[in-house]
Amino acid sequence: MTEDAGETFVFDTGPLSAFAINNWLGVLKAIVGKRRAVIPDVVVAELKEGEAMDSRIGAALTADWIEHRELRSQGEREAFADFAELLVVGDRNLGEAAVLALARTMRATAVVDDAAARKAAASFGVDYCPTLRLLCWSIRDGLLTVPLVAELADDLLSSKYHLPFRPGGFARWAEENGLLDGS
């Protein structure tokens, strides 16, 4: 990729669920390419809960290119505690805390869209990438096209995934934010 995205992506529940529900996991697999895609055990549990409501989410759980990883080392558990203190409210944001903990200890890139998770990542110096930025890098690298990503974004929006534009607005949003020109 054009940006230094590292060799491992640690995915949060939201992007994986949305891509699975909309049958776009193949595109995500192509974006990951030869890099590792990892999800912590907490995200596995959240995906299983989601699968009970929408069976299509199960595709993210059975994808052979996504590695399931338990938080096991002392460092991983301590990092989880740090992020949980910032993010977790009741049973909300456990996945984000686990994703950031793994990304921090593995020196990987967290794929998170939640603003609070991005802020927590920045405060701890953890590399992170929102889904849309990942898609824009892939366009700039010639892997995806603007029309393909626009269709994908519209599908995500139709399934109630939050994006910063309305249906049909991806190309304009990406241009206005300088995400397609290499800046």
Mean pLDDT over 72-76 rounds to 95
Q: What is the pLDDT of residue 91?
A: 83
Q: What is the pLDDT of residue 5?
A: 44
Q: What is the pLDDT of residue 182?
A: 57
Question: pTM to 2 decimals?
Answer: 0.92
CA-based nearest residue to 43, from 24, 29, 61, 28: 61
Residue 1 has pLDDT above 80, yes or no: no
> pLDDT, tens digit, for every residue of 97-116?
999 999 999 999 999 999 99
Q: Does domain 1-183 have CATH number 3.40.50.1010?
A: yes
Mean pLDDT over 68-82 rounds to 96
Q: Which residues pair with 111 in a beta bridge?
A: 11
| Encoded tokens for 162 | 């939050």
Mean pLDDT over 81-92 rounds to 92
The order of strands in the sheet holding 8-11 is 66-69, 36-40, 8-11, 109-111
Query: Strand 66-69 relative to strand 109-111: parallel, antiparallel, unpaired?
Result: unpaired
In 107-169, which residue ranges form alpha helices assigned H by DSSP?
Answer: 115-123, 131-140, 146-158
